[in-house]
Copies of this chain bind each other. A is one copy, B any other.
């Protein structure tokens, strides 16, 4: 039987009462640091709770408290009887955490993605501000068309700092097997932790209209997303143009933790 291999975390025992911070929060920070540094890779199992608690020199309850919060933030995933794993971006669960377009009738489906353009650019002011880089910094720029049910629905333009993605090429980008965020994570160890989006309604400009097969001036949604990694570090800036004739942009508020 293949054994799940847990990882040498290079964790040190937490100093109790060291900083006025609750112990479980210090534990959380230690785990967060291990995740951020990549000492535990996405998909890998953490040491068992009992062992991890011993390694850190805290009780199992304290460890669980810290892990609970990381699970709530989608950074770890617990599997009963198996272990606790570093969350990955490959599951559909995670995909749909960041993909908000669905059919009017509520059914979700995976979009077909076409790469329209890939290149290097110098960041304009808007992109630079979003990515917290200097204006004029080198960025990779990507354009995608997303189709649902054979219909072009989303025109994505996204920018990522070249400094974060050394050695990226169109070939590598094109040959990624799964989602973009999974690619960032698997190939560059860069995990998108959360994001914020700002949406407007605008008249389709000429490029968007062409890509989506619309008349110029058709109302479309324009969504500006900044994707953040650990420590609120900007990873990607994306402008999505969405044709909402047949599909909706959806937003859930206050989902219950589990069924009541």
Q: A225 → chain B, closest Cβ, in Å?
A: 8
Q: Which of A6-14, A67-75, A130-138 contacts B (4 or more CB under 8 A)?
A: A67-75
Q: Which of A111-119, A140-148, A166-174, A198-206 contacts B (4 or more CB under 8 A)?
A: A198-206
**Which B-chain residue is minimally distant from A74 (CB atoms)?**
B254
A257 pairs with B73, CB closer than 8 A: yes
Q: A199-B221, A201-B201, A219-B201 are in contact. Are A194 and B253 (CB under 8 A)?
A: yes
Q: Size range of the interface on A?
A: 35 or more
Q: How far is the CA of A32 from the CA of B256 in the complex (A)?
A: 12
8 Å CB interface, A235-250 against B: 242, 244-245, 248-250
B28 pairs with A260, CB closer than 8 A: yes
Which residues on B sit within 8 Å (CB–CB) of A100? 251
Q: A36 → chain B, closest Cβ, in Å?
A: 10
Q: Is A23 an interface residue (CB 8 A)?
A: no
Select A253's contact among B197, B219, B221, B257, beta carbons within 8 Å. Answer: B197
Which residues on B sit within 8 Å (CB–CB) of A220? 201, 219
Select A254's contact among B28, B97, B248, B254, beta carbons within 8 Å. Answer: B97
B201 pairs with A221, CB closer than 8 A: yes
Q: How far is the CA of A74 from the CA of B255 in the complex (A)?
A: 10
Q: Is A209 an interface residue (CB 8 A)?
A: no
A199 pairs with B251, CB closer than 8 A: yes
Q: A256 → chain B, closest Cβ, in Å?
A: 5
Q: How far is the CA of A249 from the CA of B100 in the complex (A)?
A: 14
A sample of 9 inter-chain contacts (CB < 8 A) reads A73-B257, A100-B251, A197-B252, A198-B248, A199-B221, A200-B245, A201-B220, A201-B242, A202-B244
Q: Is A80 an interface residue (CB 8 A)?
A: no
Select A199's contact among B98, B196, B244, beta carbons within 8 Å. Answer: B244
**Which B-chain residue is minimally distant from A230 (CB atoms)?**
B260
**Which B-chain residue is minimally distant from A100 (CB atoms)?**
B251
A29 pairs with B260, CB closer than 8 A: yes
Q: Is A162 an interface residue (CB 8 A)?
A: no
Q: Is A56 an interface residue (CB 8 A)?
A: no
Q: A130 → chain B, closest Cβ, in Å?
A: 12
Q: Is A195 an interface residue (CB 8 A)?
A: yes
Q: Is A5 an interface residue (CB 8 A)?
A: no
Q: How far is the CA of A203 from the CA of B245 in the complex (A)?
A: 11
